[in-house]
Amino acid sequence: MKNFSIYRASAGSGKTYILTYNYIRLALQYPDYFKTVLAVTFTNKATEEMKSRILDTLEQLAKGQHAMSSDLMRELRIDEKQLSARSDALLRSILHNYSFFAVTTIDAFFQKIVRSFAREIGIQTGFKIELDQPKVISEVIDQMLMDMADDPQLIKWLTDFAIYQINQGKSWDTRNDIKNLSGELFNEFLVLNKHKVFDQLNQPNFIHDFILSLNQRREELVQDMRKIGANLKSVLENHHLTRDDFTYKAAGVGGYIDKVVDGDFAEPGKRVYDALEQGKWYSKGSDTGIAIENALTDGLADYLSAAIDYYFKYNKEYQSLQQVIKYIYTFGLLSRISEEINDYREINDLLLISDFPVFLNEIIIDSDAPYIYEKVGTRYKHYLIDEFQDTSGLQWNNFKPLIQDTLSAGNFSMVVGDIKQSIYRWRGGNWKILLEQIRKDIGEDFIQDEGLSTNRRSKQNIVEFNNDLFNQAPEMLESHLGTNLGDAIQANLNMNAAYAGSTQQLFDESGEGLINIQFYEKSDEIEEPDEFVIAELVKNIQRLQDANYQLNDIAILVRTNPQGRKIAQGLMAHAMQAGDDGYRYDIISNESLFIKNNPAVHLILQSLAWVANPNQALTMAQLNYACQQYGQRAKVITSAEEILSQMDELQKMNMSQMVETIIHHYKLFNHVADHAYLLAFQDLILDYLKYEKDSLTDFLIWWSDHDTRSIQVSEDQESMRLMTVHKSKGLQFKVVIIPYCQWKLDHSGTNEQLLWCKTNGSSVLEQVPYVPVRYKNDLSQTVFAKDFYLEKSDIYLDNLNLLYVALTRAEEALFILSQVNTNSRGITQVGDILFNYAKNKSLIHEELEVIEMGKLPAYSEYKGDSSDQVSLSAVDDSPPADRVKLRQKASILEETVIESINYGEIIHWIFSMIHSRKDFAMALDKAQIKFGLSDHEMADIKLKLREIWDKPQIAGWFDERWEVKNESSILLTNGKLKRPDRVIVSDNKAIVIDYKTGARSESHLRQVTEYKNILGEMGYDHVDGYLIYLSEPDVLGV
């Protein structure tokens, strides 16, 4: 049964529509059925958008006004009246049971599981989730540096790291660089292989002995090369020859002989081979020709050939040792930081946000049907996963048992994704799961491939341009990379596979849509490329406004935040210089939305700094300056004098009260433009106090590292959007401008990548399974060459995908500026892809002129939603004491988290509460409270319980003669835990009983058989095993 759909959704093809359609199609079965459907997205914003889309669609379906009505009626076999009634009932049910509306992020879903089963998996139920991993790393590194005086090995590693940084032209103060390096500990590969990688390093003297053996082996190779070099040197000395007596002197065969004498592993060049193969040892008429000939007779050529043979035999091992030894400090540092983080977790009783998928993965790795998923997995019958190309291996491994279970029960699930839009590999996303792994894991018998190939977003010319470009681009890159790769590595390149079937069908056939590409080179005419870019950007903005485009129709996309700053500053400078030229250049960027940049918030922060340090002249001066700056902007007289007199009162307040008092004193809410920033800052204070102690000094220290909180603004605000390509994913704009379309395809020098490579190829290296090496071209000469080239291929694809995402955001017009080197024959940046494409299409002639394809629509056709807007014109800024009243008497209803109604799960829980028959009434009462069951639902559950109770044998298992162990853990000799649902014991006889709620499986039999064997090893003379299938119901002896 093909009940698992894989939707491959290219840009603008209606991915959100298909998710909404399938959710509603499933949920319309009856009003409460939506509780069995889980939709998973990757961001909170996407979650809210998905929820809103579902609710809006249901509202329109209830009125009979939505385009998907006909499809739903056909598939559900209902008429328009029935669809309207069901949609209305479903909408009401969701709104009245909103906590069951399961559209969530993948992280939130995993956190819920861990919290629900904290006791079972051996962690404290009150543990804290630490979202701020950089903060943890910072504290751990600070502590490690404080303690390093007693650790000579750590000092050595830190010294090596500092020397490396200095050689790279960076600061010797390595604290921030150590923080960046520590990010590797959350790399998925290292997370999964942490024990393999680090366990040996914790053994006494292992790291010292390992480094010693690496150096010894490298020295052996050098000495053997020097022995050959000594023979060469002896021959030269016997014939009174030096390197300058040979052709090309130091640059020829003589220079190469000197390198061999020094023990260098240098690759022989053409001149060396010319000497050996063509006899080009010396120039015609050379005075030393006879001496060289005599040296050749004495074995010069033979020794040189031996050196070359030795080079080719051992160079790969030598270069590998060089790379590992050079960066061995990373091994030690990461191992030590990993230990410190583990200690930090235990001391502070917390889990990092990155721990959740790891925790779950470790629990399920040795079990076919892990108990943690049996309970949670049967709650949801359908799984809809969005942006599947960004799913990590860990996340997929944790979801896989859930999906396999629901598919085996005949239920529908789906994933939707697009490999071409996979741009988050750096944070764990693995597009290869969507490309191939999912098919292996789910099985072809279940899979139904669905293609969403019609682009409903963009005008005809833009779709056709992108189709043509991205049909050629993967082949360009594979050809460029393939010149350096062997057949085995070329077979692993996936660029063409990732872009297979990327051609999109047209929805718009108007013949409209503009593509404007401007290539330029740095030259005498363009000495400052940034100034040129701003000038061209201004021209394009003016042209668009002349064509009736509004500012919020335009998005400017950049690769990095520094580029965004250049654009924002450049447009601001132009606006000030141009004055009232009839055009507007208003822009919203991430930095303009940072609350720290708001003068009112800045004034609060300076006031808080003064409260924390009242005796420092600098903080007093900064506070007075902040008052002056705010006063000039708000056109009011602002003074710190009155608040200075309230020092004693302020120091007694908690932080929330302190901030409110400062806001009230300066009357900051009188300036409407500051409202959003002030409210966001107050929210930030409350968020901080949820997890941290109420200490002003600690908050100011925390704020110095966490000052990037920003406000959210309406999409309808009349300003251009400036954002990175990553931020633009999932969005669309009438016009997209890409002013720096020239990001590198390979890793940049400032973003050093660490590769964790297998140590095959050297017996010395194989003492550890993996070693860290820096990504650099030198790796092509090592045993790590395959890892290097595969990473190169992957990063090229990442950056090609970024180009795809950037170019497919546009609806009506696309403007591209790209700096290129017209003399370069290689492909090193995305601009080269566009430049080669333009040359292949004969769009470029001798001069770099502007390329323009297509045309703008006669006027902007797509009108934005004219939704009503409500302005927040006044905020109550009276003192907190005047606004907060204590209610003396109230009925308090504690809201609990209620699980969705799944009879199998509820009955499973009821049985877990029962030791003997007398516990049934108590368990039923507790179940009604825990699950929020109505009397009608309780009647159904009692009926199902009666059906189970009437089965032979079952009643006897609840006699009081038995010693009962419900869900008790059994600690095995290997340290693992097993947890049968129920074990009853009497007179050295044991019966193990396991409850199941899903479809029957061989794994259930294996699981109970394992429990029986364990109980037998524990000394019970006679052990029986049974499975109770609660949904059927049925009893099966094992």
Q: Which residues are annotated as a binding site for ATP?
A: 9-16
H or E element at residue 754? strand 754-758
Residue labelled with tokens 């807007």? 869
Count of other CB atoms within 10 angstroms of residue 513: 24
| Contact between residue 313 and residue 306 where contact means Cβ atoms under 8 Å apart | no
Burial-class residue 231 by CB neighbours within 10 Å (0-12, 13-18, 19+): buried
Query: What are 722's strand-pairing partners?
Result: 556, 589
Which has the closest alpha carbon to 97: 891, 897, 894? 897
593: which DSSP letter? G
| Contact between residue 279 and residue 244 where contact means Cβ atoms under 8 Å apart | no
H or E element at residue 296? helix 289-297
- Dist CA 913 CA 958 (whole Å): 12
Q: Which positions ≥6 away from 170 have C-beta within 8 Å?
A: 177
Distances (CA, A) of 542 to 401, 465, 520, 565, 582: 56, 24, 21, 21, 9
Q: Which positions ≥6 away from 444 have C-beta within 8 Å?
A: none
511: which DSSP letter? S
981: which DSSP letter? S
Count of other CB atoms within 10 angstroms of residue 304: 23
- Dist CA 63 CA 51 (whole Å): 19
| Contact between residue 834 and residue 817 where contact means Cβ atoms under 8 Å apart | no
Which has the closest alpha carbon to 376: 118, 4, 123, 116? 116
Give the burial string for 932-968 (b: 16+ CB within 10 Å, else e): ebeeebbeebeebbeebeeeeeeeebbeeebebbbee
| Contact between residue 993 and residue 976 where contact means Cβ atoms under 8 Å apart | no
Which has the closest alpha carbon to 808: 592, 499, 528? 499
What are the tokens at 661?
Answer: 């008092």
Query: What are 9's strand-pairing partners?
Result: 452
Q: Which positions ≥6 away from 73 have C-beta within 8 Å?
A: 79, 80, 83
Residue labelled with tokens 């470009």? 469
What are the tokens at 571?
Answer: 């447009």
Distances (CA, A) of 950 to 941, 944, 955, 1033: 14, 10, 7, 10
What are the tokens at 861?
Answer: 């056709």
Q: Binding site: which residues?
A: 9-16
Count of other CB atoms within 10 angstroms of residue 874: 10
Which has the closest alpha carbon to 1028: 923, 933, 926, 914? 914
Burial-class residue 877 by CB neighbours within 10 Å (0-12, 13-18, 19+): middle
Residue labelled with tokens 């095959």? 760
What are the tokens at 699?
Answer: 């908050």
Count of other CB atoms within 10 angstroms of residue 150: 7
- Dist CA 434 CA 445 (whole Å): 17
Q: Work out the end-to-end distance of the chain between its first and last CA atoms, rounded to an integer number of angstroms.
A: 29
- Dist CA 423 CA 729 (whole Å): 9
Q: What angle, 0 to 180 degrees and rounded to 10, lies between the N-to-C axes of helices 675-691 and 599-612?
A: 40
Count of other CB atoms within 10 angstroms of residue 135: 14
